[in-house]
Amino acid sequence: AQSVTQLGSHVSVSEGALVLLRCNYSSSVPPYLFWYVQYPNQGLQLLLKYTTGATLVKGINGFEAEFKKSETSFHLTKPSAHMSDAAEYFCAVSEYTGRRALTFGSGTRLQVQP
Amino acid sequence: GAVVSQHPSWVICKSGTSVKIECRSLDFQATTMFWYRQFPKQSLMLMATSNEGSKATYEQGVEKDKFLINHASLTLSTLTVTSAHPEDSSFYICSARDDVRNTEAFFGQGTRLTVV
């Protein structure tokens, strides 16, 4: 069984400040890990993913995340927040075999203050 | 590439009627598609896994007879909400896994269903 915990349902940062969204996972097998962004009344857009290889993953819009197996974490960061980053962010995990359905965290709403 | 089109984007229906939602992979083949439900300000909950040419796999607690899933081709899956009730009002999102680039699934834009 898999699960995802996102610490902090709401995060507020100032424009230009560091963005840090936390994600911890639980999986009995090596996981695939994902970060998605959702704007109101829209589907999900993939920001980045970790499958194998390099543990520091770079995604779109300046986001990156680091897979830390020892900490079972996959935190999302961005050095400098932009107003357009305000959205809902979901961390997700899937197994690397089988049907590989995604299990989502509860989401973190990011607010960016001017 | 990797576009998933979901239609309609929103629908209002009367209690007791049925509503069909389509999920199409436009530029790739998808043997496997997934249907999620999202309540306001909540996360996505997997409802069922749709498999081309075979029966869907439903998650525990999801009524098979209420949420009918058909995956008749490698590019189309449909979700039919039968005998809809107001409590079925929700945001429904599909995703499709590219059979070639199978490390990720791509999401449709979602369907807002309101049952009155």
Contact between chains at B110 and A105 (C-beta distance less than 8 A):
no
Per-residue pLDDT of A4-28, as tens digits, reads 999 999 999 999 999 999 999 998 7
Token couple for A77: 């960061």
Q: How many CB pairs lie under 8 A apart between chains A and B?
A: 51
For a pLDDT cut of 70, what percent of chain B falls above it?
97
pLDDT at residue B72 in the model? 85
d(CA A47, CA A34): 8
Tell how strand A87-95 and strand A103-104 pair up: antiparallel
Check: CB of residue A49 under 8 Å from CB of residue A34.
Answer: yes
Residue with tokens 């709403």: A109
Contact between chains at A101 and B46 (C-beta distance less than 8 A):
yes
- pLDDT means per 10 residues, chain A with 114 residues, are 90 97 89 92 89 92 95 97 96 81 93 96
Beta strands in chain B (DSSP E): 4-7, 10-13, 19-25, 32-38, 44-51, 57-58, 67-73, 76-81, 90-97, 105-107, 111-115
**Nearest neighbour of B32 by CB, restricted to A34, A99, A106:** A99
Average pLDDT, chain B: 92
Per-residue pLDDT of B35-58, as tens digits, reads 999 988 888 999 999 988 889 999
Confidence at B1, pLDDT banded by 50, 70, 90: low
